Amino acid sequence: MLKHQNHYMASMDMKMFNNGDNNKMNNIGVIGGNGYTICSGSWDDTIRVWDIEKTKQLNLLKGHDRYVISVKYGSNELVNTILSGSIDRSVRLWDIRSGKQIQVFNGHLSAVWSIEYSPF
């Protein structure tokens, strides 16, 4: 495990996160702080939260209608949230603790390939 500023990166066999051909991951977000949790966006339209120390899935977030191609953990006061972007042209805000979708942001004309929180 490597620490860089406030983020931890782990070297691991990503096959442990592949639950079959329909769940191939497109991207991974690393949470700052504890260093033992990552989130992944998948071709099966879901986001999964993983414990990388125990190599177990902690949560499954459903709501996108198409592939999830970008995920990002919140920081500071938004530390318990995930932003996701999808081929379905939406951005969604999630509560990690409850697994519930907080907000949907529609209006993009094409897929949302990259997302970022805006500091206030």
Mean pLDDT of 93-119: 92
Give residue limits of the domains in the chain.
2-12+21-105
Is 96 within 8 Å of 78 (Cβ atoms)? no
Closest CA to 81 of 60, 58, 98: 98
Q: What is the pLDDT of residue 32?
A: 53
Tell me what percent of the residues of the chain surpass a pLDDT of 70.
69
What is the tens place of the pLDDT at every residue in 28-87? 666 554 567 888 899 999 999 988 889 899 999 999 999 999 999 887 778 889 999 999
Q: pTM (2 decimals)?
A: 0.73
